[in-house]
Amino acid sequence: MTRPRVLALVVVWLVVAAGISGVVWAVISRTGSELVDAQQPLVATTGTVPATPTRPALRPSTSPSSGAGATAPASQTPGTPTPPDRDGAPSGGTATEAPAAREGTWQGAGGVVTASCSGRAVRLVSAQPADGYRAKVGDGSSEALEVEFEGGEDEGGSVTVVARCVAGAPAFAVERERD
């Protein structure tokens, strides 16, 4: 082979390799972004929520609750005075003027429930079923939130979690039913 022909083959090979690499990179990038989107926690919805193979990061808990789970403590207590301004004088008012929503998390055999309380009103933040379970969110009132984790044949039952606001923070009650 002549030198120009070898050079032309090398250039063609480089162009083909670069093109294939670009296509592979685009496919991997798109697939990766779809997987990341699928791992986001499930948000408050009515109906059946399918199980996903991922586990959410859990907050550390300091106090036990009834059932197999625990409640995460809230970060601010209502009635706490606001910090003083620069000259040391109180900046006026207390934190009770606009009560902050407080979150709590329950974790057990069926999955994870995170709820938020604002006064006596409870709101679902997320319901993440464990592997082999699916979550059903009830159509309850703003004073009680019900999430049922239905297990498949291998799990042998369901777990019902009811959240209510007690002293401005979520409190969880758990009932396990066997099939």
- What's the token pair of residue 124? 């679902």
More confident residue, 129 or 43: 129
Name 82's Cβ contacts closer than 8 Å, sequence gap at least 6. 90, 91, 92, 93, 94, 95
Name 119's Cβ contacts closer than 8 Å, sequence gap at least 6. 99, 165, 168
- Cα 114 from Cα 104, distance rounded (Å): 6
Q: Is 7 helix (H, G, I), strand (E, B) or coil?
A: helix
pTM of the predicted model as reported, rounded to 2 decimal places: 0.46
Partners of 64 in the beta sheet?
Answer: 70
Q: Is 58 helix (H, G, I), strand (E, B) or coil?
A: coil
**Domain residue ranges of the chain, discontinuous segments joined by +:** 1-38, 47-75+99-178
pLDDT tens digits, one per residue of 6-39: 999 999 999 999 999 999 988 888 887 766 554 4
Query: What is the average per-residue pLDDT within 50-58?
Result: 43
Question: Per this entry, what is the length of the chain?
Answer: 179
More confident residue, 113 or 139: 113
More confident residue, 138 or 61: 138
More confident residue, 146 or 77: 146
pLDDT tens digits, one per residue of 139-173: 777 889 999 999 877 767 889 999 999 998 999 99
